[in-house]
Structure 1
Amino acid sequence: MRKFLWMSLCIGLLASCELFESKEDKAQKLVNEELLGIDWNDVDQYPHFDSCDELAVKEAQRQCFQTVMIDTFSKALSGLKFQVQHDLNDTVYVDFLIDEHGFISVLNVEEKTSVLNEIADFNAKITARLNDLTTVAPALKRGNPVSLRFRLPLVLNTN
C-alpha cells in the first residue's frame, strides 16, 4: 500500500508541474495562442471618410471606401497633362499605405519601361499628386487602429 501511495504522490507531483508555472508564462502563452488565431490579412473595419457610414456592414464600408478613394484620386490626377511620342495603352499599379493615424501615402508606383520611355518623370509626378491628399479614419483590427496597404490600377490610354 505504501508503494502505491508513494507512486501516486510522485505521479501527482509530476502531473501538477503546471501549477508551478509563473503568471507571466501563462499570460505569454495565452497571448501567443491569441495572436496565432488572428487573421492578419483582414481588418474588422475598413478606413472610412466622413461621407461613409462607419456603422454599416463591412462590405458596405469597403465599397464606400473604394468609391470615395477612387473619386479623390481621380480629381487629384485630372489636371495632369503629358505629351507622348507614341500611343500608350497600359496599366500602372500604385501601392498606397493608410497608416494607423489615417495618413495616406504612396509606397510605390510600378515602373513600366513603356511608360517611362514616353514620360520620364511620370512616377515622380504621380507620387507628388497623390501623397498626403487627405486623411481618413484608420482601419481597425480588434478595436485598434492599424495600417492598411492597398493597390489601385492607373489606366493610361492615349488613343
Structure 2
Amino acid sequence: MMKLNGDVGESFGQWSMGCDSELIPLLDMANIACGFHASDPDHMSQTVKLCNAHGVTIGAHPGYPDLQGFGRRSLAMARESITHSILYQVGALQAVTKHHQTCVEYIKPHGALYNDMMASDSVFDAVLQAAHTLELPLMILDTAEANTYRSLADEQGVALIMEHLPIVGI
C-alpha cells in the first residue's frame, strides 16, 4: 500500500511556511522539521498536536544547520558531525513527541542532507549511524541503487522505508 508523506512544521518564530493545518489531514506520514533548517520548539509542538489529531505517523526531518538557506545548501561537515547533528535534532523532536504522549517513528533527512545522503556513501553512513543509535527506520529514495543502500543499512541493523516519487503528467 502506498502512503503519502509530506514535509511539515517548517515555520519558525514569526515566519510562517506552508499550510500545515490543511495538509496534515491528507497525509499518512509527516516529516517534521527539527530546528536546524526550519521550525522551533513551539512550531514542533503545534505540528505534533496536528498529527495526533489526525492520526498521522510522525517522522523526524533533520537538515543541515542552514536557516538562511532553508537547508538546501550542501555544507562541508565531518561524518561524525553529521551524525551528531541528526542525533541532536531528532532528540529534540523526540522530547516534544514524548510530551504529547506519542513518538517519532522514522527519520527522513531534509533538502541538501537528503540529496547528499543519496549521493555519498560517507554521508549515507553518517545518517545510518544516527538511525542505528536512535533505533529508527530511515526513509530514502527508491533508486536503482536501492540494493546497495539496503545492504549498507542491513549491516547497521537499520530498516529502510523506500520513498517513491509520484508520476506526474498521467
TM-score band, normalised by shorter chain? under 0.3
Structure (1 or 2) with the greater strand fraction = 1
Structure with max Cα Rg: 1
TM-score in terms of structure 1 length: 0.26
TM-score (norm 2): 0.25
